[in-house]
């Protein structure tokens, strides 16, 4: 029910926010509780999404073999799993600092609330981006106990990046979404329109990454800029392999390019900050 490969999108950005906040590597107890919080948030979000979408997933040929519609897990088990995951996130936030603990209910509301957005708005991709953008912002708060322009810019970059690649991923469900009365950018604007919107979202992400060093008082150097150039190249790659009349390489664009992008930017920034 919970796919490990999805972790690779959010966790590197959480570590990136953590490194920037600490201006280096923080204490290992802080790192540990950030990881616990991420596990709780991710598991709660994915479990809840599978729970509320179980009937939709059963009707969609692409998702009919998921754990709930396939009967591999029960509804009761998933409810318990989601509640436990929310508790894990809350405990981790409590162990980190007061602001993280106070914001835990808001974080839970966002990561769970996303699952309903496809029912009423084509901007559901942006809500998914908002949920995952909590990774770098939450990690910054975990280290410093405050909010600043730099992590907000990084969170904004993650929001636009996730929304952009989710628009691409939703292309394969556009016909099903229209028939089921669900909302998405591909279902509303068609394949060509969705590709343009995805590209604009990704340009916005790059603009925020370019602005980040000016908002981060210690500054960022050559290694970070190499990371940004790599991100631009990987985004260009995924847009080059997804064409209006050929969506056969969507999974390559979604998992491989974006997974590499997250790790690449974290490693480049880590080299910059730690050296």
Euclidean distance between CA atoms 138 and 191, whole angstroms = 34
What is the pLDDT of the chain when averaged over all its residues? 93
How many domains in the chain?
A: 1
User: Per residue in 123-182, pLDDT tens?
Assistant: 999 999 999 999 999 999 999 999 999 999 999 999 999 999 999 989 989 999 999 999
Contacts of 255 (CB under 8 A, 6+ apart): 5
Across 102-118, average pLDDT:
96
Please give the model's pTM, rounded to 2 decimal places.
0.94
Residue % of the chain over a pLDDT of 90: 83
Mean pLDDT of 99-111: 97
Of residues 238 and 197, more confidently modeled: 197
Range of the domain at 182: 4-274
Mean of pLDDT values over 37-60? 93
**What integer pLDDT is reported at residue 256 of this predicted model?**
79
- Here the CATH number for the domain that contains residue 152 is 1.10.357.140
> What contacts 245, CB < 8 A, 6 or more positions away?
none
- By CB atoms closer than 10 A (0-12, 13-18, 19+), residue 167 is buried
Q: What is the pLDDT of residue 176?
A: 92
| Residue 98: other Cβ atoms inside 10 A | 10
* C-alpha closest to that of 100 among 72, 60, 140, 131: 140
Mean pLDDT of 85-101: 97
Can you spell out the DSSP letters for 207-219? HHHHHHHHHSTT-
Count CB-CB contacts under 10 A for residue 121: 14
pLDDT at residue 200 tops 80:
yes
CB-count exposure of residue 142 (10 Å: 0-12, 13-18, 19+)? buried
Closest CA to 201 of 128, 256, 255: 128
What would the pLDDT profile of 180-196 be if each residue is shown by its tens digit?
999 999 999 999 999 99
As a whole number of angstroms, the distance between CA 133 and CA 127 comes to 10
Q: Are 159 and 189 in contact (CB under 8 A)?
A: no
Length of the chain: 275
Q: Which residues contact 258 (CB under 8 A, 6 or more apart)?
A: 9, 161, 165, 234, 238
% the chain with pLDDT above 70: 98
Rounded Cα gap, residues 257 and 137, in angstroms: 23
The string of pLDDT tens digits covering residues 227-268 is 999 999 999 998 988 888 777 777 766 777 888 999 999 999
Distance (Å, rounded) from C-alpha 54 to C-alpha 169?
Answer: 19
Banded model confidence at residue 5, pLDDT cuts 50, 70, 90: low
Helices (H), 118-257: 124-144, 149-169, 174-180, 185-215, 222-241, 250-251
Q: For residue 226, with 0-12 CB atoms within 10 Å meaning exposed, 13-18 middle and 19 or more buried, which class applies?
A: middle
């Amino acid at each position: 029910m919970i796919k490990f490969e999805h972790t690779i999108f959010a966790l590197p950005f959480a570590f990136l926010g953590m490194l920037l906040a600490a201006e280096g590597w923080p204490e290992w107890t802080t790192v540990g509780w950030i990881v616990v919080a991420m596990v709780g948030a991710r598991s709660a979000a994915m479990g809840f999404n599978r729970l509320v979408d179980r009937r939709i997933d059963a009707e969609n040929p692409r998702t009919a073999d998921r754990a709930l519609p396939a009967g591999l897990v029960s509804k009761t088990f998933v409810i318990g799993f989601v509640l436990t995951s929310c508790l894990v996130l809350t405990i981790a936030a409590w162990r980190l600092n007061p602001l993280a603990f106070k914001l835990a209910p808001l974080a839970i509301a966002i990561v769970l609330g996303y699952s309903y957005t496809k029912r009423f708005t084509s901007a559901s991709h942006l809500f998914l981006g908002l949920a995952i953008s909590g990774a770098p912002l939450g990690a910054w708060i975990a280290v410093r106990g405050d909010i600043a322009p730099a992590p907000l810019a990084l969170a904004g970059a993650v929001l636009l990046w996730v929304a952009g690649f989710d628009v691409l991923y939703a292309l394969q469900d556009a016909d099903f979404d229209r028939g089921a009365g669900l909302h998405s950018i591909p279902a509303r604007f068609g394949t060509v329109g969705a590709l343009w919107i995805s590209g604009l979202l990704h340009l916005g992400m790059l603009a925020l990454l370019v602005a980040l060093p000016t908002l981060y008082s210690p500054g960022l150097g050559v290694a970070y800029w190499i990371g940004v150039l790599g991100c631009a190249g990987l985004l260009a790659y995924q847009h080059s392999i997804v064409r209006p009349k050929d969506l056969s390489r969507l999974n390559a664009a979604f998992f491989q390019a974006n997974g590499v992008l997250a790790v690449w930017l974290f490693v480049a920034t880590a080299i910059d900050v730690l050296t």
